[in-house]
A and B are shown apart, each in its own frame.
Chain A
Amino acid sequence: MTTALRVPPTQGFGRRISTALLLRPKLLLALLLLPPLLWLGVIYLGSMLALLIQSFFSIDEFSGMIQRSLTLRTYGELLRPAHLDIILRTAAMAAAVTLASAVLAFPIAYYMARYASGRAKTVFYLAVMLPLWSSYLVRVYAWKLILAKEGIVTWIAAELGVENWLEALLSIPVIGGAALSVSYIGTFTVFVYIWLPFMILPIQAALERVPQSMIEASADLGAPPHRTFRNVILPLAFPGVVAGSIFTFSLTLGDYIIPQIIGSSRLFLGQVVYIQQGTAGNIPLAAAFCVVPIVVMSIYLSAAKRLGAFDAL
């Protein structure tokens, strides 16, 4: 008995295209990747390159015209004490915000990943994501009211009879101020509030990937809970913490709205970029300031890599 292998006739235009592409996988891959690669290459990397080039131009102080010849003069300006202050202040704020976010986010992420199930998990996801759906500006202004001298925090402190605690907090030099809304403490609080979801979600994702048996194995081998946490859970969740900190750190480095609305009048990096390119028209200096967070992030990531943050990936 013989059966001929029946080859169905190729029918229709769409079917023929499909077959043609299926037989040329490289062409298919190229066609699929072209749009995102164009987007990434031209819009993302292209604009970054333009920015980098601009930062090597300089401005003629007399005429205010941009001189399109390559020089390091603009970078030299970054090293002026006033500018260095801004860079250090922003980096310190970003570091503090990142640290606080990690400490706050970890227990929440841990609960979400290891304990919450079904409904509770949905509620937690919503609670974390919900603030991201409303306007950033509205939330920041809401915080301005909350933290204002006549705001709810002052009122609660008065009701509880702990105004002097609040006053003691505000009288701390540098980070204190006339009210929470015009102090670094206020800026810090709002930064942590706004960026917290970006820390919770990656940590939660990392913790979800740690199998229960690994935690049991640690206990089985004689490790009490705190050793299991330090030697097993934390190292395995660390890539998530680093991923989250990349978000919180870089977002804080670049933000120019929060410090403008809440905080003292001392400037942050993002504000300087905004002022230099908008009001002052000094695009080279603005560009040079923009390069700072990129450099800081590169240093941060290579340090994290050296610490073994990505070993468990």
Chain B
Amino acid sequence: MDSAVRFRNVCLRYGKVVALDGIDLEIRSGEFFGILGPSGSGKTSCLRLIAGFDRPSDGMIELHGRSAAAVPPYDRDVNTVFQDYALFPHMTIEQNVGFGLMVKGVKREERRRRVGEMLEMVRLEGLGGRRPSQLSGGQRQRVALARALVNRPSVLLLDEPLGALDLKLRQQMQVELRALQRTLEITFIFVTHDQGEALSMSDRLAVFNRGRIEQVGTPREIYEQPATRFSAEFVGDSNIVERRDSDTPSHERGVFSLRPEKVHLSTRESATGGRAISVVGEVADVQFHGASVRYVVSLSDGSSMTAVAGNLGSRADLPAVEPGTRVWLNWSCDDLHRLRESESH
């Protein structure tokens, strides 16, 4: 598979602020690539560099194997769906969607046909004559998508496009975006700070932290084998287990991540030995999440651990666990995943 976008040791500085610090990244043609990180981690800066709004202070960006250094944004085969949608308020929906074709000199009839097709695809047929201010948030989002896709770019950049939508609409758009990407076979690069969104939508994703990449991989790789403490804690929940005592074998010392759903909670002491480990503690908090229940347990050494149990079975089967209950937490050493410490800055 050839690469659509490649970052080679890219740095971006605004004055003294370092937005990106030595990014090496390859995004393959036709994949749905997620860029995940907290705000200020450099996600949007990455998109701006690919779109050409900013230039790297150091390093190089390649689009389809060719350096993009001398290519201005309007000559790049890349289109963006902006976070605030950036629809032109003085134009109708049709004119907004047709803008890219108009500036490229596409004839009026063909323009009309392609804009019509695109509006149909995002299910906005019949609204072409309206202004952006007359549409709802979800509809504007679709217009922004149509306006970008009508140009048939090889790469589509999406900057937190679902951030302004409510939960239901958001979930619906997630499914639609995935379906759209599969039909069109365009490379989608999707920026989000929502780890659930990144996991469920991406073919592969990169976890960003303070201008650096913590980890790149498939959602499953990142969840099951977080490389760093940051990845483990930012993507899903994690118990961080440190094993430094001299009685543990040296190859099992270090810092590990343990997912809460791998920790089993019991009100009775259970057998240990082999790979099985059990610790005793006192429940500090019980959080009911509907599909699952999350228990925060204080251990005797003052630390705390989290266990998540699926809301299975009938109500009567649930053990009477409430804050103050003495419980045993059991897990297998096989579920521990060794972490590399994040590089210090």
Kindly state the separation between the CA atoms of A224 and B100 in the bound complex, as whole angstroms: 11
**A235 proximal to B (CB < 8 A):** yes
A278 to chain B, nearest CB (A): 47
Nearest CB on A from B345, distance (A):
28
How close is B308's CB to chain A, nearest CB, in angstroms? 36
A214 at the A/B interface (Cβ < 8 Å)? yes
Contact of A222 among B74, B82, B83, B90 (CB under 8 A): B74
Give the total number of A-B pairs whose CB atoms are below 8 A apart: 66
Residues of B within 8 Å of A, CB-based: how many?
A: 25
Closest to A227 in B: B103
Within 8 A of B (CB), among A268-313: 308, 311-312
Residue A220 at the chain B interface, CB threshold 8 Å: yes
B89 touching A236 by the CB < 8 A rule? yes
Is the Cβ of B86 less than 8 Å from the Cβ of A231?
no
Number of interface residues of A (CB under 8 A): 20
A223 at interface by CB-CB < 8 Å = yes
Given contacts A222-B74, A222-B151, A223-B74, contact A217 B103 (CB under 8 A): no
Q: Does A221 contact B (CB under 8 A)?
A: yes
Q: Which of B51, B52, B89, B147 has the most CB of A within 10 A?
A: B89
Mark out the residues of chain A between 188 and 246 whose CB falls within 8 Å of any chain B CB in the assembled complex.
211, 213-214, 216-224, 227, 231-232, 235-236
CA distance A265 to B53 in the complex (A): 56
Partner of B51, one of A220, A231, A311: A220
Q: Which A residues are CB-close (under 8 A) to B324?
A: none
Chain A interface secondary structure, helix, strand, loop or mixed?
Answer: helix
Please, which residues of chain A bring their CB within 8 A of the CB of B83? 213
Contact status B73-A236, CB under 8 Å: no
Q: How far is the CA of A217 from the CA of B80 in the complex (A)?
A: 7
Instruction: Name B150's closest neighbour in chain A (CB-CB).
Output: A221
Instruction: Specify which chain A residues have a CB less than 8 angstroms from the CB of B288 in the assembled complex.
Output: none
> Which chain B residues lie closer than 8 Å to A223 at the CB level?
74, 99, 103
B257 on the A face (CB < 8 A): no
Contact B103 A231 (CB under 8 A): yes
Q: Decide: B79 and A220 in contact? CB cutoff 8 A.
A: yes
**Which residues of chain A are near B52, meaning CB under 8 Å?**
219
Contact B86 A213 (CB under 8 A): yes
Tell me if B79 and A221 are in contact (CB < 8 A).
yes
Q: A235, B82: Cβ atoms under 8 Å? A: no
A311 to B131 CA separation, bound complex (whole angstroms): 10
Find chain A residues with CB under 8 A from B87 CB. 217
- 8 A Cβ contacts from A17-38 to B: none
Interface residues in B74-93 (C-beta closer than 8 Å to A): 74-75, 78-80, 82-84, 86-90
B107 within 8 A of A: no
Give min CB distance, A217 to chain B, whole Å. 4
Chain B residues with CB under 8 Å of A308's CB are: 90
List chain B residues, Cβ under 8 A from A217. 80, 82, 86-88
Cα distance A232–B118 when bound, in Å? Answer: 22
Is B275 interfacial (CB-CB < 8 Å)? no
Interface digits, B91-124 against A, CB 8 Å rule (1 contact, 0 not)? 0000000011001100000000000000000000
Is A214 touching B103 in the complex (CB atoms < 8 A)? no
Task: Find B88's partner among A214, A216, A222, A224 (CB 8 Å cutoff).
Answer: A214
A-B contacts besides A216-B80, A222-B151, A224-B72, 12 pairs, CB < 8 Å: A213-B83, A214-B86, A216-B73, A218-B99, A219-B52, A219-B74, A220-B73, A222-B100, A222-B103, A224-B103, A236-B88, A236-B90
Residues of A within 8 A of B (CB): 211, 213-214, 216-224, 227, 231-232, 235-236, 308, 311-312
| Contacts from B to A (Cβ < 8 Å) | 51-53, 72-75, 78-80, 82-84, 86-90, 99-100, 103-104, 147-148, 151
Q: List 19 A-B contacts (CB under 8 A).
A: A211-B84, A213-B82, A213-B83, A213-B84, A216-B51, A217-B82, A218-B99, A219-B53, A220-B74, A220-B79, A221-B74, A221-B100, A221-B151, A222-B75, A222-B104, A224-B72, A231-B99, A232-B88, A312-B90
